[in-house]
Chains A and B, each alone.
Chain A
Amino acid sequence: MKIFRNPDVMWREEDEFREQAYKGLDTGEDVAEIGTSILLHSGKMHSLNVLGTEIWKLCDGKTPQEIVSTLREMFDVDEEVLRKDAGEFLQNMKEEGLVYEE
């Protein structure tokens, strides 16, 4: 099962907030509330934090397992925790019509 971004979704990374979030990660701060990208779909705006943004960017035909493996290289988080968080996040995005499976 591969995950793809819905091409109708308009999105952009917020460079300033992205920089702020990565600086925070380096110093061990909680950056979960910093929105580093914005998605616009069907008139609804979604703001994703740094982990959400990286997952979103990886939805280019990768499987959930491939996404988790790539995230493991980027974030110092336990694999089980990452799998659970990414799985829930992908499910939410699917329900919102932001991604689809093939």
Chain B
Amino acid sequence: MTPDNLIDPFIVYWDINSSGYSDAIISIICDALIKNKIFVLNLRDLSNPVSTTVSNIIDKLARSNIKIRLTINHGAIERSMIKNLQEHGISLFTETDSIEKLLSVSDNIIANVSFLLNQKNFHEIPAVIAFCIKNRIKELEFPIQRAEEGEIFYPAHSEVDQLAHALKEIPLELLKLTVHDPFLWKVFFKREHLEGMGCNGAYTMIYIADNLDVTPCPLLPVTLGNLCSETLKEIFSSFKRRQIRKEIIAPPYECRGCAIADNCKGGCRGRTYILLETFNKKDPACCFNC
């Protein structure tokens, strides 16, 4: 798939603004999601309690085929909410960043877990997985970091090696795991190469920030447009999207000579862009010896 025959994205991430949006804006966006045949909407609302905007969006998409995955603050979960969302066929995730917080309310957890990785909690991954398996949690996601939310984290090679060693003892097949980071993905799914991988930002997925800016990915802060002034279709069809896609799929200059560059295409392009301010260098988290 070249930038010239780009398909429209089918996975949308949307972080909800705690102040909410007007009903008209919500209607316009939800109608556009349906019209553009989006498959999956990943909603994230970390306000506590969960904002009414979320229920408004869910109501508007209720009769569509869009699969909704809702991530909420770990402290905002209620039993009644879980039942209600399950009836709507919505996958509910609670977001947390420490095993301690997970353990503190384990009695209430029936939802899936979204564990936001950082420097302090990376070593907790095996314990989090063990916790999820023990508590029969169906899905565990290590979500995409948000460009605007603090320091961009990636583990050191030694930490990745330690994780790979620890995972050998864990029956990962008992849990549905979602891992976005390409180099962690390699560790979890025990693949030598990143065949057919590469960044999907602005290709199959896009991100709607809380201010309705649309970017290729939560971790790639290049604005393609804003839904207050442009339609989703206009943004999908825009020159900006084609242009950024062209930059994303071109393997970085630094990766020339690497045997897997054509598959990997430089790892996480957002992380590289934020940390090195260019697309033309390799991902700082790269664990291949090129």
Determine the distance from Cα of A43 to Cα of B67 in the docked complex, in whole angstroms.
13
Are the C-beta atoms of B67 and A10 separated by less than 8 Å?
yes
Across-interface contacts of A45 in B (CB, < 8 A)? 204
Instruction: Flag whether B121 is at the interface (Cβ < 8 A).
Output: no
| Chain B residues in the interface with A (C-beta under 8 A) | 1, 5, 7-8, 10, 37, 39-40, 65, 67, 178, 204
Write the nearest CB–CB distance from B25 to chain A, whole angstroms: 25
Are the C-beta atoms of A38 and B7 separated by less than 8 Å?
yes
Instruction: Flag whether A32 is at the interface (Cβ < 8 A).
Output: no
Are the C-beta atoms of A12 and B39 separated by less than 8 Å?
yes
Across-interface contacts of A40 in B (CB, < 8 A)? 10, 39-40
Give residues 43-61 of A contacting B (CB, 8 Å). 43, 45, 47
Are the C-beta atoms of B5 and A38 separated by less than 8 Å?
no
Are the C-beta atoms of A14 and B7 separated by less than 8 Å?
yes
Determine the distance from Cα of A100 to Cα of B207 in the docked complex, in whole angstroms.
34
Determine the distance from Cα of A35 to Cα of B6 in the docked complex, in whole angstroms.
10
Determine the distance from Cα of A47 to Cα of B65 in the docked complex, in whole angstroms.
19
Which one of B1, B5, B7, B40 contacts A10 once the chains associate, using CB atoms below 8 Å?
Answer: B40
Given known contacts A38-B7, A40-B39, is B204 in contact with A10 (CB within 8 Å)?
no
Determine the distance from Cα of A17 to Cα of B39 in the docked complex, in whole angstroms.
18
Are the C-beta atoms of A12 and B37 separated by less than 8 Å?
yes
Determine the distance from Cα of A47 to Cα of B37 in the docked complex, in whole angstroms.
15
Across-interface contacts of A10 in B (CB, < 8 A)? 10, 39-40, 65, 67
Across-interface contacts of A43 in B (CB, < 8 A)? 178
Interface 0/1 of A8-26, CB less than 8 Å to B: 0010101001000000000
Determine the distance from Cα of A40 to Cα of B11 in the docked complex, in whole angstroms.
10
Across-interface contacts of A47 in B (CB, < 8 A)? 1, 7
Determine the distance from Cα of A49 to Cα of B7 in the docked complex, in whole angstroms.
13
Determine the distance from Cα of A35 to Cα of B67 in the docked complex, in whole angstroms.
23
- Chain A residue with Cβ nearest B178: A43
Given known contacts A10-B65, A10-B67, A12-B39, is B5 in contact with A17 (CB within 8 Å)?
yes
Write the nearest CB–CB distance from A38 to chain B, whole angstroms: 6
